[in-house]
Amino acid sequence: MADTENLVIIGSGPAAYTAALYSSRANLKPLVIEGEADASQRPDLPGGQLMITTDVENYPGFPEGVEGPKLMELFRKQAERFGTRVESGWIDKVDLSKRPFKLSAGDRSWRAKSVIIATGAGAKWLGLASEKALMNRGLSGCATCDGALPIFRNKHLAVVGGGDTAIEEATFLTRFGSKVSVVHRRDQLRASKFMQDKARRNPKIEFVWDSVVDEVLDPKVGKVIGLKLRNVKTGTVRVLEVGGVFIAIGHEPNTAAFRSQVELDSKGYVKVTKGSHTSVEGVFAGGDCVDHVYRQAVTAAGMGCMAAIDAERWLEAQGG
C-alpha cells in the first residue's frame, strides 16, 4: 500500500498551484494530481481555463501581459521549486468517508491525510467544429478575461446566451466594442429583471431573438468574421457579420467525482464555510469549482492560498 500523503491537491490551475506553493513552503510535501496532458477534449485540461487563453493582460505582475499556458508553466515551476510533486491522472472515484482519504484514478490510488479540491470549472460550448477552430481567434468564453484585447476593440461583437452571465458580458463589452448583439434561442431573456432592464437601456446592445448559431465564420479565413444564425421558429438562415463572439451559455464545475462525498450546491459547485472548509473535515476547496461569480485567475489563486493555509492549520491541530 502506498504511503499516506500529508496533502493531496486535485487540479492544476491557479488555485491548485498556489495551494501547492504555500503548502510546499510550509513543508507539507504536497502532491498535485493533474489531468492527463493528452486528453485535450477534457474540460479539466492541465492548467485549467488559462490553457485556452492566449493573452492574459489582467494578472498582476505582468505589465506587458503573458500567454495563458506560459503563466501556468510559471505557476507550476514555482511550486515545484519548493518540493511540490506532480502526477497525472483523472480522479474518478474518491472515498472521503474516513481518514486517510482515498483517491482513485483508474487502477491507481492514493491516500491522504488532507485534500484540497481545486478542479476548476469549464465553460459550456456550442459543440461546433468551427467554434473550436476559432478559439482565441476572435472567439472566447470570457469577456472579463479577453474583452479588452485589441482584437475586439471597436468591433461589432456578439454574445451567445440569455442568462445573467450573457447580459453581464454584453454590458461589459460595450466599453470596447462598437455594438454588441445578444443572440438568444428564445424570445425572452432568462436574466434577472434588473439585468434585462440595464441591457435594454444600453444603446449599444441589440437582441437577436429565436436564433441559434449553426456555424462560426470563418475557419478558412482564420478569424471570426460572422455567425451563421438559424431562426428556430421560421428556419430562416442568415449571416450576422461580427468581429468577435463570446459564448456565455454557462459553466460546469468539474466536481462529478465528489458527488455524495462533499456538499455541493444545486449547480454542482463545492460549498465552503470559514474560508475553504468543505462539509468534510480535512477536505478543503478553492478556485472555480467553488466560485461561480468571479471566475478569475487572480481570485482562484487567492482561494488556493486560503485552502493551503487552512489545510496547514488543520493538519497542525491534528498533530501533523
Mind listing the pLDDT tens digit for each residue in 187-243?
Answer: 999 888 888 998 999 999 999 999 999 999 999 999 999 999 999 999 999 999 999
pLDDT of res. 241: 97
What amino acid positions are annotated as catalytic residues? 142, 145-146
Beta strands in 135-271 (DSSP E): 139-140, 156-160, 179-183, 205-208, 211-217, 226-231, 237-240, 244-247, 251-253
Report field, pTM of the whole predicted structure over 0.75: yes
Pairing verdict, β 211-217 and 226-231: antiparallel
Percentage of the chain modeled with pLDDT above 70: 94
pLDDT bucket at 261, cuts 50 / 70 / 90 = very high
pLDDT tens-digit series, residues 294-318: 889 999 999 999 999 999 999 999 9
Q: List 296's β-bridge partners, or say none.
A: none
C-alpha span between 78 and 72 (Å, rounded): 10
- What's the CATH number for 4-122+251-318? 3.50.50.60
| Model confidence band, residue 2 (pLDDT cutoffs 50, 70, 90) | low
C-alpha cell at 127: 459543440
Tell me the pLDDT tens digit for each residue of 79-94.
Answer: 999 999 999 998 999 9
pLDDT exceeds 70 at position 169: yes
Query: Across-strand partners of 115?
Result: 8, 283
Helix 164-173 and helix 193-201: axis angle, to 10°? Answer: 30
Q: What is the pLDDT of residues 40-69, one digit of tens each?
A: 444 445 667 777 666 788 899 999 989 888
pLDDT cut 90: percent of the chain above it: 78
Backbone φ, ψ for residue 102 (5° rounding): -115, 130
Q: What pLDDT, on a 0 to 100 scale, did the predictor assign at position 264?
A: 97
Distance CA 162, CA 268 (A): 21
One-letter amino acid at 48 equals: G
Place of cell 473535515: 281
Residues of the chain with CATH 3.50.50.60: 4-122+251-318, 125-247
Look up residue 125 and give its three cell numbers: 460550448
What fold does the segment set 125-247 form as a domain? FAD/NAD(P)-binding domain (3.50.50)
